Structure 1
Amino acid sequence: MFSDSFLEKIFDKVKRGERVTFDEGVRLFETEDLIGLGYIADFVNRKKNGNIVYFNINRHINPTNLCINKCQFCAFYRNSLDEPGAYEMSVEQIIKTLKPEVENGCKEVHIVGGLHPEWKFEDYLAIIRGIKENFPELHIKAFTCVEFDHFSRISGLSIEEVIDKLKEAGLGSVPGGGAEVFSQRVRRILCRNKISGERWLEIAEKIHQKGLKSNATMLYGHIETYEERIDHLDRLRKLQDKTGGFNAFIPLSYHPENTELEKRLNIKGSTGIDDLKVIAVSRIFLDNFKHIKAYWVMLGKKLAQTALWFGANDLDGTVVEETVTYMAGYKTERKATIPEIVNLIKTAKRKPVERDTLYNTIREY
């Protein structure tokens, strides 16, 4: 069945319900048997989720790209409003942007953005309050662990107090960005000013302890090694063992165009083969995560559809306007319609299910 005999050992392990080790995870990335790797990942996924592939009707809002972190991999950030492409949105602009989407059935707003050099914590709370007051039924998934840390520093509040105030304002769950790769070596080069991987995990744990679900991500395809990828997945798996608070894992394919990292190191980003490997290895290694997302915004819709045969069981959602990847020169669409997503899932011979943010079924197709 497998051209790489090592995969036979892994397949036997997962059939017995045994956990893949760190070294085995690294070896999975090294295999040249892509189809065999996908077969195992698909087997694991079907045991967890059957034939179902989820999506949701959501809208991304990136309130500002002014940011003090200056990450080397990021084409999104600007230092000041004087720079070309810099922007900031008022609460009124955000409400105006969301109104037609909510009227057309949007169930979730996903909010991440830069660490604005002048905004106070109250400004971010005002965004959440404004959305909740105008759209009380809309689920608000907002702010990464990096942003939570920023809120704590600019307000003088503890992380626990920050979480409490955001929950009181209407926060429903937390996205998984800012994790990048937890390796200290990688972060020194990619995002020296960003919180450490340890701090990201610490804040995620506190979020879970406060009763909020979150997602987890990994940015790959730049300077990281296979060992650093597995180290990242292993730390997520350990925290999930402890809290059970992660909804989904979302691999994020690095897009180098217009970034400082591309200029310095001439990095080209991941290939389609690597994208599928990351999805598959994540599904096999993260045995305590039920959902693996093929984020079509970064993969492209056709490769995201293919990933449904390599362990993914979620295509994210309609998105409408994602700015972070777009500013890194990505050329695919920024929006997906419901019929388009349903067609992608059905033609992959899977069953489309519209979900809410917490994976409750809204509609089966």
Structure 2
Amino acid sequence: MAWNEARKAELTEKIAQGERLTRQDGEDLYDCDDLAWLGAQAHSVRTRKNGDVVFFNVNRHLNLTNVCRASCAYCSFERKPGAKDAYTMRVEEAVSLALAMKDDGLTELHIVNGLHPTLPWKYYPRVLRELKAALPGVALKAFTATEVHYFEELSGLSAGDVLDELIDAGLESLTGGGAEIFDWEVRKQVVDHNTHWEDWSRIHRLAHQKGLKTPATMLYGHIEEPRHRVDHVLRLRELQDETGGFQVFIPLRFHNDNNRLSHLKMAAPTDVLKTFAVSRLMLDNFGHVKVFWVMHGLSTSQLALNYGADDMDGSVVEYKITHDADGFGTPDKLTRENLLELIRDAGFQPKERNTRYEVIREYDPPTALAQRRAEPQTVWA
């Protein structure tokens, strides 16, 4: 469309009044080159919902196996059986590694894996049960909807029964992965498994019915177009209207190393910020939008906090999914102090949360911290 001030004024008014944006509105927003205006609109919505707060948690990532029967075009993580760098952890190894990663205030283990062709179904609830016994105060956020769909095939159980067994073993939340892009024309070119929108949404719907709160993701910046991103978030918005079970939306930036799409350029920072802004504006029924700093870089992640994001994820360790697509230069880990500094430096107040988005600890906002540091200190004789 040809952007003009009348259209901008119309959308500004809709956003200010809290009116739901349409598919056409979303596509028009992606066509807008006024990034400052777009950011201001998204920031007004994130501020309306979450004030000047940026959430984070203390988490660790645990990938039980990188062996996968699928060969998705975007993936740098999967290995075939017998590959020299393929691995699969025994249950005892997984528990030992999780205990070694335990840190002060750890509240969450995030577990995703390849679709291992020979591991038995019972391995998965067993590993959850053993991890929960070893770390009883740590929430287990585990498995994508793609993995749960695969567990149906492995076990012969329905997804509902699979979820019941996993919940009984300690599962507190699914992960949001496996979403990629829902549009079939794009999806069939990048995904090499049979979990598509119908099953992804079915499994998250079941999880929500069982009381789980889950995240939702979108892998962007590969072969999709802006209209596919709009379609993706509209599907999520409709499902959220139905269940209310999504806690957070997480745009994930495609990385182009060591995969079959390596000829593509990664999304530029301007496209990253536009994606966050439009997503925040379209997803009026989502409480939070997370910028996963591992996939976006630290500086761009800070900027995204002014374009709709209100969560910076956590003090991730060993995030193999992206770091196997090497060369981006982000660290494997940020400490709590690192995160506090990044959030305050961007002008926001940090709040530490758990998996359920319950606030565990509040920290001084940047102004209060600066004021306290500037105050003269009393010296006692």
Equivalence for 1:120: 120
In structure 1, the residue matched to 2:180 is 180
How far 1:252 moved relative to its partner? 0.3
For 1:54, the equivalent position in structure 2 comes to: 55
AA in 2 matched with 1:283: R
Q: For each residue in 1:64-107, what CA deviation from the matched residue of structure 2 results, as whole angstroms up to 9, or x when unmatched?
A: 11011110110110111x21321111222221222143352211
- C-alpha change, 1:5 and 1:344, in structure 2 (3 Å) is farther
Local SS of the residue matching 2:95 = helix
Give matches, 1:1-365, under 5 Å: 5-80=6-81, 82-262=82-262, 266-329=263-326, 330-365=328-363
Aligned with 2:130: secondary structure?
A: helix
Q: State the 4+ residue runs in structure 1 displaced beyond 4 angstroms.
A: 2-5
C-alpha displacement at 1:293, in angstroms? 0.2
Deviation at 1:5, TM superposition (A): 4.7
The superposition leaves residues 2-35 of structure 1 with CA deviations (integer Å, 9 ceiling, x where unpaired) of 9855332222101111000001101111110011
The residue type equivalent to 2:308 in the other structure is G
Check whether the contact 1:71–1:192 (CA below 8 A) recurs between aligned residues: yes
Q: Which amino acid aligns with 2:137?
A: E
SS in 1 for 2:172: coil
1:31/1:23 CA distance change after superposition, 3 Å:
same
Q: One-letter code of the match for 1:116?
A: H
Q: Which amino acid aligns with 1:349?
A: G
Q: How many angstroms does 1:140 deviate by?
A: 0.4
Q: Partner letter of residue 331 of structure 1?
A: G
Q: TM-score, normalised by structure 2?
A: 0.92
| 1:291 and 1:314 in contact (8 A); partners too | yes
Q: Is the Cα–Cα contact under 8 Å of residues 4 and 31 in structure 1 kept in the other structure?
A: no
Residue 332 of structure 1: how far off its partner (Å)? 1.3
Alignment partners' CA distance in 1, 2:351 and 2:341? 12
The range that moved more, 306-315 or 198-207, is 198-207
Deviation at 1:220, TM superposition (A): 0.3
- Structure 1 distance, partners of 2:308, 2:66, is 33
In 1, Cα distance between equivalents of 2:318 and 2:193: 27
What whole-Å deviation, never above 9, does each CA across 1:155-194 have from its counterpart, x for those lacking one?
0000000010000000011110000000111111101324
In 2, Cα distance between the equivalents of 1:64 and 1:194? 20
2:248 aligned counterpart, secondary structure: strand
User: d(CA) in 2 for partners of 1:128 and 1:285?
Assistant: 35
**TM-superposition CA deviations, 1:23-70 (whole Å, max 9, x none):** 110111111001100000000000000011000000001111101111
Question: CA separation of 1:296/1:3 partners in 2, compared to 1, >3 Å: closer, same or farther?
Answer: farther
SS at match of 1:131: helix
The 8 Å contact of residues 65 and 113 in structure 1, kept in 2 or not, is answered as yes
| Rounded Cα–Cα distance in structure 2 between residues aligned with 1:97 and 1:115 | 21
Q: Distance in 2 between matches of 1:114 and 1:5?
A: 49
Largest Rg, 1 or 2: 2
Gap regions ≥5 residues in structure 1:
none
| Unmatched 5+ stretches in structure 2 | 364-381
Greater CA drift, 330-339 or 35-44: 330-339
Question: What amino acid is the match of 2:329?
Answer: K
Task: Look up the SS of the partner of 2:88 in the other structure.
Answer: coil
Secondary structure in 1 matching 2:54 = strand
1:328 offset after TM fit, Å?
A: 1.1
Task: Tell me the TM-score normalised to structure 1 length.
Answer: 0.96
Q: Which amino acid aligns with 1:277?
A: K
- Say if 1:41 and 1:311, in contact at 8 Å, map to a contact too: yes
Amino acid at match of 2:241: D
Tell me if the contact between 1:3 and 1:36 (Cα under 8 Å) persists in the aligned partners. Answer: no
Cα distance in 1, alignment partners of residues 103 and 340 from structure 2 = 21
Q: CA RMSD in A?
A: 1.3
